[in-house]
Amino acid sequence: MSKIDPSVDDVVQEENMLAHATLPRGAQWLVGVAALALGGLAVVLGVGIVGAAVIGVLAFLIGYPLWALLVENKRSATDKLVTGLVWTAFAVAVIPLIWLIYTVVSRGAATISPEFLTFSMRSVTGDDQGGLYHALIGTLIVTGIAAVISIPIGIMTAIYLIEYGKGNRLAKGITFLVDVMTGIPSIVAGLFAFALFTLIMGPGTRFGFGGGVALSLLMIPTVVRSTEEMLKLVPDDLREAAYALGVPKWRTITKMVLPTAIGGIVTGVVLSISRVIGETAPLLVASGFNPNLNTNAFDDSPMMTVPVFIYTQLSEATAKGVEYAWGGALVLFILVMVLNLIARIVGTIFAPKTGR
């Protein structure tokens, strides 16, 4: 018994050391109210709203951990400080996004109407009714061309890098070029497409296919990278099991690897489309602008897109032009949101079943 008693005493002593006072329930709300009051006082004293918000946030970030340090211990104070910093960073990221959504919806909703969505700007002068129908059709055509070019090239490039080219010089060179293409300015892609078709078709050539080529230069690296990451997540055991059964490599890729990663690949493709659909500079250079509806991407005439429509309407510096620009921004925002929702749904549907 004498050998056991000291250990029992040690346990009791450790429990006494761990036991300490704690902050009252709802302490964070009390500190938050005090910080809010301090920010309100700063506004009364003439400090701007932004300055008052900064003062309130700093008061909370300092006051709450300090109270925990005085009542509890250093570990608890550090935990509350880091938690406060994380939530502050989250708020800094979310508040501008919410503000942006509110601004676009509030300014653009008044412009949206059946006429705005079904009329073009052909022969529109003064207060005559016009719309972005021609730009919407042009965006769908140009983005579709970019997708048709980029998706096969990007997916097959990623398959080569992961399945065939591990460690060789060609794969390393392709990876380096993909990294470089990921960071090129969008205007450079537009200038490349414009210069290419100027050499082929003559000076000043701007048409829909040129805009699709320009967007594909921006889209291919994103497709390659997203597909690469998804293929890396496929367990090597699946490949080895197929090879052990004598299945050819190409059949293993098409029947085992790609079906396993298809959810992530489709999600990455859709997100890459939503990334390029709002590009303005390359389309302004390669596709130009046209107030008329043009559904032929290979016709030697400019093709309007929604981003360029927004730019041209805003450049007019008229009240009607500003309204149409906000309406176009809302339409573009809805297109991007729909594409992201499609990516989420497709990723959920095609995600590998884990049995959980």
What six digits make up the tokens of 175? 């990876």
pLDDT per residue over 103-129, tens digit each?
A: 999 998 988 888 888 888 887 776 667
Tell me what pLDDT residue 351 has.
66
| Superfamily per CATH, domain 118-350 | MetI-like (1.10.3720.10)
Q: How much is the pLDDT for 126?
A: 66
Is the CB of residue 325 less than 8 Å from the CB of residue 135?
Answer: no
Q: What is the pLDDT of residue 278?
A: 86
In the chain, which residues have pLDDT < 50?
A: 1-4, 11-17, 356
pLDDT at 152: 93
- How do the domains of the chain map onto residue ranges? 5-108, 118-350
Which pLDDT does position 354 carry in this prediction? 57
* pTM to 2 decimal places: 0.78
